[in-house]
A and B are shown apart, each in its own frame.
Chain A
Amino acid sequence: MIKLIGLVPLFPLIGFLINSFFGKKMSKGLSGTIACASVLASFIVSVLIFMEVNASQQKSTVIEIFSWINSDTLKIPFSFLVDPLSCLFLMNITGIGFLIHVYSTSYMKDDEGFSRFFTYLNLFVFFMLLLVLGSNYLIMFVGWEGVGLCSYLLIGFWFKNDAYNRAANKAFIMNRIGDLGFLLGIIMIFINFGSISFGEVFNKASSVPTSTITTIALLLLVGAMGKSAQLPLYTWLPDAMAGPTPVSALIHAATMVTAGIYMIVRSNIFYSISDAASECVAVVGAVTALFAALIGLLQTDIKKILAYSTVSQLGLMFLALGVGAYSSAVFHVTTHAFFKALLFLGAGSVIHAMGGEQDIRKMGGLKKALPITFITMLLGTLAISGVPPFAGFFSKDEILAHTYEHSQLLWVVGSIASLCTAFYMFRLMFLTFWGSFRGTHEQQHHLHESPKAMTIPLIVLAALSVFGGLLGLPEFWGAKNWMSENLDSVIIRKNPTILSHETEWTLMAIAVLVALSTIYFAYQMFIKYKVLPADKVADMKPFQRVIYNKFYVDEIYDAIIRKPLDAVSEVLSKLVDKQMIDAAVNGVGDLTLWKASIFRKLQTGHIGFYIMTMVVGVIAIMFFSLMK
């Protein structure tokens, strides 16, 4: 079965090809069915392969498809690595991917770009699978940039809107900044290790100087920061919400943005060796987690809130990576994929019902009209807020416990971020589903629960969000932590927990207490006192205004990068190129012409003048030879 791993990316590729060539001629039903079926087929194969890997002793197998680039010692095969880590991601991607495909068949059914949408979506799944399947860094990079392309295409899916197009460009270009780091990292790996295949590189890692490892690890981190939207390269992700909502769920929450985490987990040996690089990962993660959570507190666009929440949760995962809790990070990737996909799809269902409205100030009291969406989103919210026994509680608790072990300061930062998360998520829920309806009369008339194709994925994801925690029960409960055991062979150096059980219980109790009291506070504020977010920026307090405007980061980037780049380019184009370099060239030309025009005057055609110059010349020669 493992030999058939090629089928996993092949199915979505076939789906992509069919839809791209014949999509327009087919009915929407057929086009959607092909797209869904191709991902479902991949999911089934992934599960079978996962079971085989799980049962077998040999945990990692490399399957070569063909030889891709060869240049002397640089040999890059197009080959796949099957191991517990890649299998886990495969199931995640294809499983959640399938649910979101199904959801999209209904969500997008009135869109004229229906088949184009599925073309892009299938292509995305293909590249995402390449990313996690590649057995060397360059194949990973192929998937890495490929998903970036699909993200670009899907953010700008409605390409008549220029704001969306700009968001798409921003996403691609910002990702490319990260990719530059990643690419240089890969090249440094090749130069120092003589190979870029995971197996060979990881085996040699301990024989390479630590300073080199640190540089490589930091370059890879830059790549991860771009793709996983970490500070300072995160600003593209909130803008990416311009894309259709299923895209936000699949690409900008559940799968693509976790690629950075996957990459660092895959390269865990580098970060275990280099403490400096690990420290950077932890700090970037913690700061991002807090920063984005703060911004999330005051946003009013339902998708933007979820987007900042995603950035914040990804920060938490980076924090886990930084403190060496690799399997906890993967655990949180998995549970986050469940509940964040759920929340986005739920938000999509709300937006669908509201006729495109995304501002939570104009919603309210939707729980009666959208019962399934309401219940499932509530479960998702409980999961993300860290309320036991939902999925997010376990993964988040594991991360915070490991962080506490590493640094209490980072633990405080992480905990505050979690507190904010619980607050803004319940703020979203209370304002959307409770209270009285604040939209237009027409909207109220149209409120309806979404069709089955949309609610069934919600229900499945809700179930996963409730029970997902079983994947990684805490060891100090005496339970088996399946996640960490499963990833045992992938994590090369482990750091065992040194906290006492009492400490772990205390930390857990604090986390639960904080989450519950925050929810209570939010309840008081939004249900009891019916506080509504201010409509105008002018009504806000100064610090609120700063947060509401996202700390003006976009404006700052504009002022220090985009505008100077354009200005410098203008100067180079108009001044340096035309007035200086080209002018110099023309100057040389003109000088030649000018000299020629002078010498041409000597050709007067008067014999007398010629004889006279000849005589002068002869005298001069005689004079000079006599002087010697």
Chain B
Amino acid sequence: MLTGFLIILPLIAALLLFFIKGEGAKKVALIFALAECGISLLAYVWYRSNPNMEALSLNCNWVESLGIKFAVGLDGISLLMVLLTTFLVPLIILSSFKTTYDKPNAFYGLILLMQSALVGVFVANDGFLFYVFWELALIPIYFICLLWGGENRARITFKFFVYTLFGSLFMLIGLIFLYNHTGLDTGIKSWAINDLYAAGRSLTEAQQTFVFWTILIAFAIKMPIFPLHTWQPDTYVTAPTPGTMLLAGIMLKMGTFGLIKWLLPMTPLALEKWGGVAMGFAVVGIIYASCIAIVQKDYKRLIAYSSIAHVGLIAAGILSANQQGVQGAVIQMMSHGINVVGLFLIADILMRHTGTRDITKLGGIRSMNGQFGVLFLIIMLGAVALPLTNGFVGEFLLINGVFKFNAWMGAFAALTIILSAVYMLRSYQAIMLGEKKLNEVVFGSLADSDKAVLIIICIAVIAIGVYPKPLNDLAEPAVKALLMNLK
């Protein structure tokens, strides 16, 4: 019940918002987002007391003739993803307080609609429902980018839309293929996740290979993995900042989450045969994107490429299909989501205060605003995975997992710890340190809303880094149970 409510609340809020005129929409949206966050915390508490509590799941018929059910529920991984979503959405809304968007009610309504679909993706236990939410999530973000985006938005957004839709169709084919193989003994077709798992495992290697690649393409485009990534930098740069945050902070996790829950357990034979190849693309992408990030001048684009590198490592960890790799991926999905929202906010703040994000034109900001310098530094350290920041826990487990799978892959993937330091430190130096370059700009104190968001993110960076146990306690058993399917 509660899980269903988590989907419906933002939906209701979104509908409600369409009737609210003016800037008040921001605050209403924030209140609903906070309420959603509160409810997800309640779900966390309930889950910790009893993971199998009935109140947490919902299972009712939808299209009976096709075996489609409205089945939602939580396990450790999906709960973490829901918490990430409900934690980030209020921050995203709050971080937009200093910017005025046309038709704020529509803008924030779409954000909440997006949240509803995202939560739906994470909690769906029915293949068809998963697909519906998956596609539903694309619609609000499409309009957010199209209507409030920057330069060239029509062309770029169209490409993004078509590219991801193209991938999703492959996934639909894969899922239908699996669905057709359910209930071969009983004659009852079903979209239930466990039935799909069973159907997948009953397939021959060749069939599994077909399913593996068709579904993988959808996830790989969403994340994105090299070489299917070219929609991403342009889209991230053009989208309005809250849109970029939604894309990078949460929507990208649909792909990695899907990989963990909707692919890994279905096709063990194919994974054994092709996992290494797929991982090769992910690992190449880490180095490829890191190198490109080194020479970017637009800070937002730099973060976009760094995100490709990070997500490449996450995907590699998942494909290693061992406990450390997958668990590390789950933890890193949380950390990356938090950090990347912080970094995009920083890019936005730079733009608002100085009128540019070009790092070659910026400089000396730290001497004008020391507090911003420190907050930026902490978030950056999280992004370069310094121990005792959130980035390290996941990255260590991930490299461990990949290394276990193949030592050379692990060693190559681990180059990220050098390369990320190169592009992060260089850009921090260019933006914050040295002498001031833009003489006319006075970088004053931060707006309260920006400051609040950055401080909350910094606290999360350190808290998760020092004491990741609550996250690991959720992720560890869930991943273990999932990997049992592979044996």
Chain A residues proximal to chain B, CB less than 8 Å: 66-72, 74, 138, 141-142, 145-146, 149, 152, 156, 159-162, 165-166, 169, 172-173, 176-177, 179-180, 183-184, 187-188, 190-191, 565-566, 568-570, 572-573, 577, 581-582, 585-586, 589
**Contact between A581 and B227 (Cβ–Cβ < 8 Å)?**
yes
Q: Describe B's contact surface by its main secondary structure.
A: helix
When distances are taken between beta carbons in the complex, the residues of chain B under 8 Å from A582 are: 230
Please tell me if the beta carbons of B403 and A68 are within 8 angstroms of each other in the complex. no
Check: B433 CB closer than 8 A to any chain A CB: yes
Q: A160-B434, A177-B418, A183-B396 are in contact. Are A142 and B227 (CB under 8 A)?
A: no
Contacts known (A177-B418, A569-B291, A585-B163); A71 close to B397, Cβ less than 8 A: yes
**Which of chain A's residues has its CB closest to B233's CB?**
A577
What's the nearest-Cβ distance from chain A to residue B375, in Å? 12
**From residue 379 to 435 of chain B, which have CB atoms closer than 8 A to chain A?**
381, 386-388, 393, 396-397, 399-400, 403-404, 407, 410-411, 414-415, 417-418, 421-422, 425-426, 429, 432-435
Distance A327 CA – B206 CA, assembled complex (angstroms): 61
Give the complex CA separation of A586 and B435 in angstroms. Answer: 42
Give the CA-CA distance A142 to B411 in the complex, in Å.
20
A568 to B288 alpha-carbon distance, docked (Å): 10
B328 in contact (CB, < 8 A): yes
List of B residues within 8 angstroms of A149 by Cβ = 381, 386
Chain B minimum-CB-distance residue to A156: B433
Nearest-CB distance from A271 to chain B (Å)? 22
**B292 A169 Cβ-Cβ under 8 A:** no
Within 8 A of A (CB), among B161-209: 162-163
- Which residues of B sit under 8 angstroms from A581, Cβ to Cβ? 227, 229-230
Q: Does B280 contact A (CB under 8 A)?
A: no
B472 lies within 8 A of chain A by Cβ: yes
Taking the nearest CB of chain B, how far is it from the CB of A494, in angstroms? 33
Determine if B469 and A70 form an interchain contact, defined as CB atoms under 8 angstroms apart. yes
For B294, what are the chain A residues with a Cβ–Cβ distance below 8 Å?
565-566, 569
Complex-state Cα separation, A179 to B417, whole angstroms = 9
Using Cβ atoms and an 8 Å threshold, which residues of chain A touch B418? 173, 176-177, 180
Q: Which of A68, A577, A589 contacts B292 (CB 8 A)?
A: A577
Chain A neighbourhood of B291, CB < 8 A = 565, 568-569, 572-573
Instruction: Report how far A68 CA is from B467 CA in the complex, Å.
Output: 6
CA distance A581 to B387 in the complex (A): 35
Q: List, sorted by A's number, 30 A–B pairs whose CB atoms are closer than 8 Å.
A: A67-B469, A68-B467, A69-B393, A70-B469, A70-B472, A71-B323, A72-B323, A72-B476, A138-B396, A145-B387, A146-B386, A146-B388, A149-B386, A159-B366, A162-B435, A165-B429, A165-B434, A169-B429, A173-B421, A173-B422, A183-B396, A187-B403, A187-B404, A565-B294, A569-B295, A572-B292, A573-B291, A573-B292, A577-B292, A585-B159
Chain B residues engaging chain A, CB cutoff 8 angstroms: 159, 162-163, 227, 229-231, 288, 291-292, 294-296, 323-324, 327-328, 364, 366-367, 381, 386-388, 393, 396-397, 399-400, 403-404, 407, 410-411, 414-415, 417-418, 421-422, 425-426, 429, 432-435, 467-469, 472, 476, 480
Determine the distance from Cα of A568 to Cα of B366 in the docked complex, in whole angstroms: 31
- State in angstroms the CA–CA spacing of A372 and B265 once bound together: 74
Contact across chains for A69 and B429 when beta carbons are under 8 A apart: no
Query: How far apart are the CA atoms of A540 and B80 in the complex, in Å?
Result: 66
Given A72-B476, A173-B425, A585-B230, 13 other A-B residues pairs in contact with their CB atoms under 8 A: A69-B397, A70-B472, A71-B327, A149-B386, A160-B435, A172-B421, A177-B418, A184-B414, A187-B403, A569-B295, A572-B288, A581-B230, A585-B163
Cross-chain contact A68 with B468 (CB below 8 angstroms): yes
B226's closest neighbor in chain A, by CB? Answer: A581
A146 and B387 contact, CB distance less than 8 A: yes
A160 close to B367 (CB less than 8 A) = yes
Which of B163, B296, B421, B472 is close to A573, meaning CB atoms less than 8 Å apart?
A: B296
Ordered nearest first, which 4 A-B pairs have the shortest CB separation? A582-B230, A142-B387, A72-B323, A569-B291
Measured between beta carbons, the chain B residues less than 8 angstroms from A71 are 323-324, 327-328, 397, 472, 476
Complexed CA–CA distance, A152 and B381 (Å): 12
A152 to B421, CA, bound (A): 12
Indicate which residue in B328, B388, B417, B434 contacts A162 across the interface (CB closer than 8 Å). Answer: B434
B364 engages A160 (CB within 8 Å)? yes
Chain B residues whose CB sits within 8 angstroms of the CB of A190 once the complex forms: 400
> Most chain-A Cβ atoms within 10 A of its Cβ — which of B288, B323, B414, B433?
B433
Quote the shortest CB–CB distance from B77 to chain A (angstroms): 14
Q: Which residue of B lies closest to A24 (CB)?
A: B370
Q: Which residues of A contact B162 (CB under 8 A)?
A: 589
Chain A residues, CB < 8 A from B387:
138, 141-142, 145-146
CA of A115 to CA of B320, assembled, Å = 47
B115 to chain A, nearest CB (A): 29
Q: Which residues from chain B contact A565 at a C-beta distance below 8 Å?
A: 291, 294, 422
How far is B252's CA from A352's CA once the two chains are assembled, in angstroms?
A: 55
Q: Would B476 and A570 count as touching, CB distance under 8 A?
A: no
Q: How far is the CB of A121 from chain B (nearest CB, A)?
A: 16
A277 to B231, CA, bound (A): 48
Inside 8 A of B407's CB, which chain A residues have their CB? 188
Contacts of A177 in B (CB 8 A): 418
Q: Residues of B contacting A188 with CB < 8 Å? A: 403, 407
Measured between beta carbons, the chain B residues less than 8 angstroms from A180 are 414-415, 417-418
With A69-B397, A70-B476, A582-B230 already in contact, the answer to whether A573 and B388 are too (CB < 8 A) is: no
Q: Closest CB-CB distance, A113 to chain B, in whole Å?
A: 9
- B contact residues around A142 at 8 Å (CB): 387-388
Q: How far is the CA of A569 from the CA of B469 in the complex (A)?
A: 38
Cα A156 to Cα B432 with chains together (Å): 12
Q: Smallest CB–CB gap between B170 and chain A, Å? A: 14
- On chain A, the residues within 8 Å of B159 by CB distance are 585-586, 589
* Residues of chain A lying within 8 A (CB to CB) of residue B399: 183-184, 187
Q: For the complex, what is the distance from the CA of A173 to the CA of B414, rounded to whole Å?
A: 14
**In whole Å, how far is A591's beta carbon from the nearest beta carbon of chain B?**
13
Chain B residue, CB-CB nearest to A116: B370
* A74 touching B324 in the complex, CB below 8 Å, given contacts A69-B393, A173-B421, A577-B292: yes
Contact of B403 among A172, A184, A566 (CB under 8 A): A184
**Quick one: which of A145, A159, A184, A187 contacts B367, CB cutoff 8 A?**
A159
Per the bound structure, the CA–CA distance linking A183 and B381 in Å amounts to 17
Min distance, Cβ A188 to any Cβ of chain B, angstroms: 8
CA distance A581 to B289 in the complex (A): 13
Among B387, B388, B399: residue with most chain A CB under 10 A: B387
Contacts of A152 in B (CB 8 A): 425
| A72 and B324 contact, CB distance less than 8 A | yes
CA distance A187 to B324 in the complex (A): 11
Does A162 contact B403, Cβ atoms closer than 8 Å?
A: no
> Which residues of chain B have C-beta atoms less than 8 A from A141's C-beta?
387
In the complex, the chain A residue whose C-beta lies closest to that of B468 is A69
- Nearest A residue (CB) for B402: A187
Which residues of B sit under 8 angstroms from A162, Cβ to Cβ? 429, 433-435
Instruction: Return chain A residues, CB-CB under 8 Å to B434.
Output: 159-162, 165
Beta-carbon contact of A566 and B295 below 8 Å: yes
Q: Tell me the complex Cα distance, A156–B429, Å.
A: 10
Pick the residue among A69, A161, A191, A572 that contacts B396 (CB under 8 A): A69
